[in-house]
Chains A and B, each alone.
Chain A
């Protein structure tokens, strides 16, 4: 496997079933963990931009670095986001660390 590719992100159906697990705000995901976007609370222009960048329902997001602002990885890009915005994105934790080995 080439070191530059990330098989975990290529798969959009959750590897481990989220099942009964409840959706949590994105800013509560731990660093190195993934989340499947469940719902985005719309409202601000910035949240629309975030959605257009790929943080929208059905996509998988990885939290690279916690804090405010934090760094997310979605599709092929890294995005810096304020914690306040991230708290409006509800995700289902889909387990697994960076490379999907949990």
Chain B
């Protein structure tokens, strides 16, 4: 059974009301359009309820409408033709909703009309006669209020009795003929809608109250509207940063605890390392995204439900159009400053596929929170004692990300994905108090999709990168062995403190040599000739490779390859900065010169370096083609820009 209706008619609320928590969200096979399937108990039977995308008509070329048309005609593989249709209509806007109704009823599927928001209609003195409407449409009509649950039981009962198709309604053309001629059918259908509406109601279309008018005067104002929107989004964005850090911290700590607890149960060796560092570390790496995803989608769902998000898209449209993207691309772009993963998931609001794809492609260029530790490291190297310059560098890196993303979007709209920016057509629904339950269910849904679809890819990639850094095994170097022996002597001489310090130093040396001799270390050496023109040595190469799991990993990897010790850095990164400052090449020249530091910063502003982003792009574009293109163009852009930065700094005598 399928649920269908206009956008903003309350479809999601009714769907949740009928199915409870038992719904599954997935894409229609071979598309990026989502379908939700839930189990509803109707007349003692389990009925599968399919939630179709909200739409205004069935006949246009938009992919959603084509898909819904195909589903209702039974032409979609793996999606049986619905046996019946629940057609949701907004009582406050009967005439407009009758337009879609005429097209659905002509399909001849058994249909029941759920007339929603009758409470709002009553309050605006709109009177609708459901019996009369039922006669006009040739199918049962039930008045409901999806939000409060009024009339839902009656609706269930009517659905249970559904067997007969509606009797013979033809507004335009023959039954099942959806190939309307151009121009006339709209008028014919609306003339019909108007006459039906006039016969079944007191004919008063609802206009939005004074409150909506007044709010809109501010919220859709070209300047004030943008200001309010930026204020709201910055607050949400700050909340993501601030609120998410606590659960993220708990997840990090919880997994570290679990790792050491389980580690103690397993004998030292490969299995322990795989379970603790590979699997537990990898699962932790997936779950650590959840707080940001949940907070972002919870607030977006609330904002959407109030009707505000449509106004935000409206005011931003004028500005975003200049780079060739619709106003709806702005919310994902702002969210990408926290994390590209939820931002890419949030691009679903963009109707046009090309616009959505361009947005997905450029989102990882915005500075996400995982880049902050790297920016902090590089600015500390560049300006250890000049906070103002350090802050300016930080800001510069953010601006560079924004300019790169908007510029790339502008470029892509003219080259790879040409096409005019789609003009805006957007309903501005009446404002209302948001529903908490709908928002929570939506948040839960997004979180589940992320863990299921992107989680596995992230986990596998983490284990591969773990293996690269752990194999082949090598013996600890002689220097570490002798330090251990020395520590033993110290301990027997009673100097415990010195012994512990030496043991730690020996462990750092062993870790350094292990990584240097591993596949990752060898790969770092192998790519060194390619990275040399950017001013990097093989240690930085290892850092770049290992930071594919997550960008911030480069900081701890550099700590290991330069022998500072990972544990020490987590407590206080300053020794690392000092070590890096002192790090020397074979010829005695320092590694982290100004030119190399700037080049590294530029590289990390622009490079993709994030397997989770690739995984979520794969899920949202339904192919590997676009994430691989994303990886290629961003790596190329990062390499070239870092090359230009390093070489020109050297040319002008800055080294």
Q: Are A76 and B186 touching (Cβ within 8 A)?
A: no
Partner of A52, one of B93, B186, B208: B186
Q: Are B95 and A4 touching (Cβ within 8 A)?
A: no
B437 sits at the interface (CB 8 A) = no
- Minimal Cβ-Cβ distance residue in A for B182: A42
B519 sits at the interface (CB 8 A) = no
Shortest distance between the CB of A24 and any CB in chain B (Å): 19
Contact residues in A for B62 (Cβ distance below 8 Å): 45, 49
Q: Are B93 and A45 touching (Cβ within 8 A)?
A: no
A10 sits at the interface (CB 8 A) = yes
A73 sits at the interface (CB 8 A) = yes
Q: Are B186 and A78 touching (Cβ within 8 A)?
A: no
15 contacts across the A-B interface (CB closer than 8 A): A7-B204, A48-B60, A49-B56, A49-B425, A54-B96, A56-B186, A56-B187, A58-B187, A58-B191, A67-B222, A76-B95, A76-B96, A77-B93, A77-B428, A81-B424
A20 sits at the interface (CB 8 A) = no
Q: Are A48 and B59 touching (Cβ within 8 A)?
A: yes
Partner of B427, one of A40, A57, A79: A79
- Minimal Cβ-Cβ distance residue in B for A11: B203
Q: Are B60 and A56 touching (Cβ within 8 A)?
A: no
A67 CA to B203 CA in the complex, in Å? 31
B44 sits at the interface (CB 8 A) = no
- Minimal Cβ-Cβ distance residue in A for B327: A69
B210 sits at the interface (CB 8 A) = yes
Using known A-B contacts A81-B425, A82-B423, A85-B423, determine if residue A76 contacts B92 with beta carbons closer than 8 Å. Answer: yes
Q: Are A46 and B95 touching (Cβ within 8 A)?
A: no
- Minimal Cβ-Cβ distance residue in A for B63: A45
Additional pairs, 8, CB under 8 Å, beyond known A59-B190, A71-B428: A3-B209, A5-B207, A40-B183, A48-B61, A52-B57, A65-B220, A80-B220, A80-B313
Contacts between chains A and B (CB distance < 8 A), count: 141
A51 CA to B206 CA in the complex, in Å? 19
Q: Are B186 and A57 touching (Cβ within 8 A)?
A: yes
B536 sits at the interface (CB 8 A) = no
A84 sits at the interface (CB 8 A) = yes
A1-49 CB contacts (< 8 Å) to partner B: 2-7, 9-10, 12, 40, 42, 44-46, 48-49
- Minimal Cβ-Cβ distance residue in B for A54: B96
Q: Are B186 and A9 touching (Cβ within 8 A)?
A: no
A79 CA to B248 CA in the complex, in Å? 41
A43 CA to B286 CA in the complex, in Å? 46
Shortest distance between the CB of B627 and any CB in chain A (Å): 28
- Minimal Cβ-Cβ distance residue in A for B94: A76
B604 sits at the interface (CB 8 A) = no
- Minimal Cβ-Cβ distance residue in A for B98: A75
Partner of A12, one of B56, B93, B194: B194
Q: Are B57 and A5 touching (Cβ within 8 A)?
A: no
B312-326 CB contacts (< 8 Å) to partner A: 313-314, 317-318
Shortest distance between the CB of A42 and any CB in chain B (Å): 5
Contact residues in B for A12 (Cβ distance below 8 Å): 194
B63-98 CB contacts (< 8 Å) to partner A: 92-96
Q: Are A76 and B428 touching (Cβ within 8 A)?
A: no
Contact residues in A for B59 (Cβ distance below 8 Å): 48, 52
- Minimal Cβ-Cβ distance residue in B for A50: B425
- The 3 A-B pairs at the shortest CB distance, nearest first, are namely A52-B57, A82-B423, A56-B186
B92-130 CB contacts (< 8 Å) to partner A: 92-96, 99-100, 123-126
B193-243 CB contacts (< 8 Å) to partner A: 194, 203-210, 212, 216, 220, 222
Q: Are B125 and A2 touching (Cβ within 8 A)?
A: yes
Shortest distance between the CB of B99 and any CB in chain A (Å): 6
- Minimal Cβ-Cβ distance residue in A for B197: A75
Using known A-B contacts A6-B205, A9-B205, A54-B95, determine if residue A69 contacts B427 with beta carbons closer than 8 Å. Answer: no
Partner of B424, one of A52, A53, A80: A80
- Minimal Cβ-Cβ distance residue in A for B120: A4
